[in-house]
C-alpha cells in the first residue's frame, strides 16, 4: 500500500489537497464552487462549457464563465470535438479569463452528444483525440496552464478506450487524466470500477485522478489506497453535502472526520447556498437554481412532503427564510444516508448512440465532427 498523497500537482499548479470537485453541468457554478471552497480545500472545476460557444462569443456560454471574487484558482472544463475550436477556446480561457487549469470532457454519455461523436464517444477516435489534446496543450502551455482530460472506461465493455486515452494524453503533454470507472453504456448505473483506475495508474506516468462513487471521505481514502491514484474527483457525493469537502480535507491529513450536521445546520447551509446563487445570478434566477438542490439537502430528514414542495417552489430569500424557520433545528443528521448513492443513477443503455460507422475506424485523424455551440448537458 502506497503512502497517502497529501497534495496534488498538475503541471505548474499545486493543489493543497488531492481532491477535485467534479464538473457537473447545472451544478458547479460560481456559487456552488464558493460554497464548497468555504468548507474545504481542493480544486473546484467550473461546469462544462463548449469550445465553439466560447469561440463564437455565444452569450449563454460567456454567462457561465463567471468566477467568485475569492476564487483565485480558476478551473474550467471545456467540451469540444474540433481541435481548432478547442485550441482557440483554450487560448481564450488563458488570455481573457486567467484560468489556472483546463480540463477536457471526454466522458459525457448523453445521447445527444455521443450521437455526434462527442463526449465519451470521442476517445474511440485515437488520432482525433490526440489532435484535440495537442491543440489544447499548445494553446495553454505559453501561459503555464496545465491541461487535463476526463474520460470513462470506454463506450461499452467491448470497446474500452481508457488505456489508449491515458497514453495519448501523456504523449500530448496533459498534466493528468481523470477516469470515471464506468463505460458510456453504463451511464451512472452499477458500481464504478476502481480496478480500471488502478490499471490506468499502472499504464501511464502522468497522475491519474480516480472518479466514481466517492460518497464519504473514507471512500476517497480507500480509492487512493486501492488504486494508487494521485487524487480523487468527487461528484454526486457532495450534492446537498458541501461539507464533504471538509471531511475530505481532514481525511487526507490523516484525521477521521465525518461531519453530521443537524437539520438546523443544514438549513444554514441551504441559506448560504441560496444567498450565493442570488448574489451571482440575481434573486429570481438564484432561487430558481436553488430549488433543484432542496431534495438533496433534505435527503433522509423527516421534513414532510408539503415542506419539500414549498421549498421546491421558493422564489425569494425571504420566503426561503420563512420556510427554513419551520424546520426542527435539533433534528439529528440521518446517519442511515451515509455511504449511499445520491443524484443520478439511472439504468444502463442497451446501445450507445453513435454516428454511423463510428466503430469501423479507430483513428479519425482530421475527421470533422459537427460541434454544437450550446451543448450544456454535461457528463
Ligand X SMILES: Cc1cc2nc3c(=O)[nH]c(=O)nc-3n(C[C@H](O)[C@H](O)[C@H](O)COP(=O)(O)O)c2cc1C
Nearer to ligand X, 40 or 235 (CB): 235
Report which of 247, 227, 228 is spatially closest to residue 238, judged by C-alpha positions: 247
Query: Which residues 349-378 are close enough to bind ligand X by CB under 6 A?
Result: 378
Q: Is 49 in the site for ligand X (CB under 6 A)?
A: no
Query: Which residues 159-218 are close enough to bind ligand X by CB under 6 A?
Result: 180, 211-214
Nearer to ligand X, 125 or 150 (CB): 150
Out of 61, 105, 183, 186, name the contact with ligand X by CB under 6 A: 105
Is-catalytic flag, 108? yes
Give the N- to C-terminal CA distance of the chain in Å, as an integer.
Answer: 31
Nearer to ligand X, 190 or 264 (CB): 190
Least CB distance to ligand X at residue 110 (A): 9
Least CB distance to ligand X at residue 318 (A): 29
Out of 17, 27, 35, 177, name the contact with ligand X by CB under 6 A: 27
Out of 8, 19, 37, 48, name the contact with ligand X by CB under 6 A: 48
Least CB distance to ligand X at residue 80 (A): 12
Binding mask 218-247 for ligand X (x = CB under 6 A): ----------------xxxx----------
Least CB distance to ligand X at residue 158 (A): 22
Nearer to ligand X, 27 or 36 (CB): 27
Q: Is 41 in the site for ligand X (CB under 6 A)?
A: no
Q: How many residues would you count in the chain?
A: 379
Q: Is 128 in the site for ligand X (CB under 6 A)?
A: no
Q: Is 150 in the site for ligand X (CB under 6 A)?
A: yes
Out of 10, 24, 92, 267, name the contact with ligand X by CB under 6 A: 24
Instruction: Output the CA torsion sign for 190, 195, 201, 202.
Output: negative
Q: Is 118 in the site for ligand X (CB under 6 A)?
A: no
Nearer to ligand X, 36 or 323 (CB): 36
Nearest residue relative to ligand X (C-beta): 379
Least CB distance to ligand X at residue 107 (A): 5
Q: Are 263 and 327 in contact (CB under 8 A)?
A: yes
Burial of 143 (C-beta count, 10 Å sphere; 0-12/13-18/19+): middle
In angstroms, rounded to a whole number, what is the distance separating the alpha carbons of residues 74 and 51?
17
Least CB distance to ligand X at residue 47 (A): 6
Cell of 267: 438549513
Cell 467491448: give the residue: 158
Q: Binding residues for ligand X, how many (CB under 6 A)? A: 24
Which of the residues 36, 94, 108, 174 is marked catalytic?
A: 108
Q: Which residues bind ligand X (CB under 6 A)?
A: 22-25, 27, 47-48, 77, 105, 107, 150, 180, 211-214, 234-237, 343-344, 378-379
Give the residue numbers marked as catalytic. Answer: 108
Amino acid at each position: 500500500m502506497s503512502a497517502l498523497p497529501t497534495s496534488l500537482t498538475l503541471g505548474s499548479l499545486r493543489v493543497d489537497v488531492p481532491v477535485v470537485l467534479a464538473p457537473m453541468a447545472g451544478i458547479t457554478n460560481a456559487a456552488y464552487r464558493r460554497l464548497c471552497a468555504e468548507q474545504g480545500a481542493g480544486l473546484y472545476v467550473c461546469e462544462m462549457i463548449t469550445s465553439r460557444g466560447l469561440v463564437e462569443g455565444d452569450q449563454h456560454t460567456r454567462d457561465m464563465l463567471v468566477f467568485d471574487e475569492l476564487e483565485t484558482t480558476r478551473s474550467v472544463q471545456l467540451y469540444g470535438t474540433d481541435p481548432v475550436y478547442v485550441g482557440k477556446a483554450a487560448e481564450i480561457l488563458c488570455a481573457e479569463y486567467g484560468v489556472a487549469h483546463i480540463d477536457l470532457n471526454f466522458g459525457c454519455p448523453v445521447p445527444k452528444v455521443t450521437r455526434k461523436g462527442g463526449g465519451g464517444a470521442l476517445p474511440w477516435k485515437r488520432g482525433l483525440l490526440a489532435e484535440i489534446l495537442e491543440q489544447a496543450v499548445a494553446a495553454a502551455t505559453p501561459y503555464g496552464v496545465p491541461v487535463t482530460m476526463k474520460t470513462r472506461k470506454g463506450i461499452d465493455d467491448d470497446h474500452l478506450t481508457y488505456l489508449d486515452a491515458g497514453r495519448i494524453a501523456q504523449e500530448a503533454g496533459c498534466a493528468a487524466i481523470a477516469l470515471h470507472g464506468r463505460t458510456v453504456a453504463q451511464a451512472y448505473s452499477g458500481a464504478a470500477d476502481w480496478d480500471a483506475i488502478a490499471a490506468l495508474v499502472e499504464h501511464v506516468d502522468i497522475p491519474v485522478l480516480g472518479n466514481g462513487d466517492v460518497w464519504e471521505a473514507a471512500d476517497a481514502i480507500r480509492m487512493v489506497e486501492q488504486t494508487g491514484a494521485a487524487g480523487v474527483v468527487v461528484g454526486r457525493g457532495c450534492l446537498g453535502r458541501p461539507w464533504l469537502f471538509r471531511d475530505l480535507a481532514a481525511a487526507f491529513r490523516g484525521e477521521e472526520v465525518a461531519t453530521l450536521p443537524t437539520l438546523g445546520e443544514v438549513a444554514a447551509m441551504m441559506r448560504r447556498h441560496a444567498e450565493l446563487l442570488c448574489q451571482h445570478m440575481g434573486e429570481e434566477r438564484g432561487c430558481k437554481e436553488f430549488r433543484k438542490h432542496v431534495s438533496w439537502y433534505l435527503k433522509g430528514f423527516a421534513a414532510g412532503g408539503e415542506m419539500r414542495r414549498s421549498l421546491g417552489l421558493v422564489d425569494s430569500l425571504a420566503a426561503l427564510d420563512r420556510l427554513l424557520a419551520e424546520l426542527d433545528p435539533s433534528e439529528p443528521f440521518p446517519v442511515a444516508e451515509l455511504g449511499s448513492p445520491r443524484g443520478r443513477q439511472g439504468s444502463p443503455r442497451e446501445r450507445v448512440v453513435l454516428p454511423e460507422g463510428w466503430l469501423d475506424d479507430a483513428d479519425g485523424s482530421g475527421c470533422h465532427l459537427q460541434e454544437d455551440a450550446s451543448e450544456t448537458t454535461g457528463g
